[in-house]
Structures are given as C-alpha cells and as structure tokens.
Amino acid sequence: MKNGVLISALLLVTLTGWVSSGELYAQSVSDQTKRREEIEREIAFIDRQLSLTRTQQQTSTKELSFIQRKISNRRRLLSQLESEISQIDRQRVVKEREVEKLNSQLMSLRRDYTTMLYNSYKNRDKSLWMMYILASGSLEQGYRRWSYLRSMSDAMNRSAANIKQKGEELKIEIEALNRLRSESLEIQGRREREFRSLAQEERRSKEIISQLSRKEREFRTQLADKRREVERLNREIERILAEAARARKSSDFKESEAERVLADNFESNRGRLPWPVKEGVIIEQFGQHTHPVFKNIKLPFNNGVNISTAAGAEVYSVFEGVVKQILFMPGYNQCVLVQHGTFYTFYTKLDKVAVKSGDKISTAQLIGNLTVNEGSSVLHFQLWSGTTKQNPEHWISK
C-alpha cells in the first residue's frame, strides 16, 4: 500500500509539472503571436500607403522609404516565425517524450494486470478461498487471510482504473502532439511565403534605387531646401526651450508642486506613452542618417521621428500638459508645442489646430489634423527633456 501511495504522489507531481509547463508554453505562444500580429499590422498599413504612393505615377524616395521599412518588418517577421517554429519544435520533443513515457507506463500496468488476472483465474474457485480462510489456526489469522484476498481484489480494480486513466492521458498527449506537428508545418509554410515576399521587395528596392540614382542633381536641390527648413525649425524650437530654461533658472521662478508631479508622471511613463496618431509607421527615425540612395550624402539630423499615417489623420497629445506655443514654420505648416512640466512634445505639419496657446490638455486629447501630401500625411514628432532632445521611440509604446 505504501508503494501505491508513493506512485500516486509521483504521478501527481508529474502531472502538475505538465500543467505548469503547458501554462508557460501557452503564455509564450500568446506573447509571440501578439508580436507577430503587430508586425503584420504594420506591414498591412505600409501596403495601403504604398498603393496610394504608386497612384502618383512616379517613383519617389517616399516609396523607397516604405519599401525599406517593409523589408525591415519582413525580416523581423521571419525572425519571429523562426522563434515560433523553434518553440513549437522544443515543445514537440517534450510531448514525444511524454507520449513515450505514458506508453511505457501503460504497457507496465497492462503486464501487471495480466499477471493478476492469470493468478486470479488459477484461483477462481471461491470455495477454495473460503476453505483457505476457514482453515486458519486462529481468528486473527483468518482475518489476515481475508484481508489479503480483499486487498488483491482491490488492487485489480485499481490497476484497471489506472490503465483506463493512462489510456486517456495518452490519447490527450497524442492529440496535442499531432496539433503541434500541424502547427509547425503551417508556420514553416508561412515562413517560405514570407521569404518569397522578402525577395520580391528587395528586388523592388534595388529597382527604385536604380531609377532614383539618375536624379542626383534634382535630389541635391531638394535636400538643400529641406536642410534649410529643418535648421529653421530646430533653431526656433531650441530658442523657445532655451528661453523656458532661462526663465526656470531665474530667481523669480518658483516651480509649483503640480509641475513637479506632472514631470515625474511623464517620466514614469517612459516607454508607455500612447502614439500621437491612431495608426502609422515610422519612416524616418531619430538621429543622423545617410540618404537612402546616395550613401555619401548625410541627411539633416532628425530631432524626432517622422510617422507616416492616413491622409488628414487626427493628432493627439501623448500626455496631459499645457499648450506652450503654436507657430507656423515653412515646410512644417502649423506646429504645436506642449509642455509637461520640464518635458515638451512637439507636433508639426498640422493643417488644422484644435487647441490654442495656454490651453490645459489631457492625454489623448485632439490637437489637430495633418496636412495631406500625395494622398497621405506625415507627422514630425519631437520630445524634449528641458533642452535635451530625446528619441521618441524610447518613450512611446511599441
């Protein structure tokens, strides 16, 4: 009986381990699926933007930016699929071992049960059992013999129940294993399709670069104009923020408790701030970059990020604050600067503005609508800590 209790305890521990492992695996698969779906949504959005760009009947750096971003996402997607396949294959190996173990246990139980059945058959005459008990030398011995025969019957019943339970467990594990095999094959097929799509996009990227490379003089002229616009915008922002910094350092300035709390709350939400648009894709990242076609040409330093979004899309505040200033800048149309204590966010290329200077605004409040150019809109978004520019991608949620 002690051995039976020990075996039951071991089976319980094993089954608990399987449940925990299954829960962790399900959680891991859920996280991976979420990441894959996010990448797929961005690729789908880029496809819609590309279809609008192509209606312009001319190849442009915008199309190249979309294609290159799509290639980057496609590679991320392939990496994610590889990770999912590896995860499934690892779990499949675990399941195969579990099936093998259950098979072995089931065979052992069946052998033991067969032996018990054989012994029971040999001693099937119940009158012999009664004579065996009645022939006992004492009442105590008779009771021990009766208990032995009863425990033998109970053992046979338990063995039969264990065989049934193990058979059901084995069936469940085989079904799970078959599902994992099917899932692995499905994702492998998806991976092959993504490889083909990636190859097509890389060929298209090379075609666009080849076409655009013949327009170097035109692009140099455009780049010079853009550089002047960027420098004008950056000087103006830096001037406004430098004035604010000087004002804060003056002897007359006293920071309120509300401003301190606001700045602390803003900083504590690093990496979790909402996007300033409902949907979009970053086509120009923070920092210094080279021209996508002419690698010997440096683009103006990007103090923020450029987010391509739907035509005339609404723009929202990423956090509560106060509208510090609204200004108009060539190439950037209307621009809104919002103060969040010692932090600032800057929204540009607005056609319509829904706020005014001095307004207190809340998180996700409408700031305005973007201008439309070639069937789509681009938001240039900046984020500053005092007079230090920040990479917005480190602050907004992924």
Tell me the C-alpha distance between 348 and 371, whole Å.
10
Asked if the structure places residue 217 within a domain, the reply is no
Domain identity same for 283 and 193: no
Q: Is the pLDDT at 9 greater than 80, yes or no? A: no
Residue 243 lies in a domain: no
Beta carbons within 8 Å of 33's beta carbon, 6+ residues apart:
84
pLDDT of residue 53: 58
> What percent of the chain has pLDDT above 70?
72
Residue 268 is predicted with a pLDDT of 94
Which pLDDT belongs to residue 50?
66
Grade residue 306 by pLDDT with cuts at 50, 70 and 90. very high
- Look at residue 377 and tell me if it is in a domain: yes
Residue 8: per-residue pLDDT: 37
Q: Report residue 33 as tokens.
A: 């699926």
pLDDT at position 44 is: 67
Name every residue whose Cβ is closer than 8 Å to that of residue 280 and which is 6 or more positions away in sequence.
45, 307, 308, 309, 310, 313, 379
- What is the reported pLDDT for 244? 87
* 183 and 271 belong to one structural domain: no
Question: ∠ CA 267-305-260 to the nearest 5 degrees?
Answer: 20
Domain boundary residue, one of 158, 187, 212: 212
Residues 55 and 176 placed together within one structural domain of the fold: yes
DSSP class of residue 251 equals T
Within-domain flag for 222: no
pLDDT of residue 18: 40
One domain, residues 182 and 260: no
Pairwise CA distance, residues 94 & 87, whole Å: 11
More confident site: 227 or 48: 227
Do 200 and 295 share a domain, yes or no?
A: no
DSSP code, position 83: H
The answer on 203 and 308 residing in a single domain is no
CATH of the domain at 315: 2.70.70.10
Determine the 3-state secondary structure of 158 from DSSP.
helix
pLDDT above 50: residue 308: yes
Structural domain that includes position 277: 254-394
Say if residue 180 is in the same domain as residue 39: yes
Mark whether 195 and 263 lie in a shared domain: no
Mean pLDDT of the chain: 77
Q: Which of 119-123, 219-223, 311-315, 319-323 has the lowest mean pLDDT?
A: 119-123
Q: How many domains in the chain? A: 2
**Least confident piece of the model among 114-128, 271-285, 319-333:** 114-128
Between 298 and 354, the more confident residue is 354
208 and 319 together in one domain: no
Co-location of 40 and 155 in the same domain: yes
Q: Report percent pLDDT > 90 for the chain.
A: 26
- Give the mean model confidence (pLDDT) for residues 273-283: 91
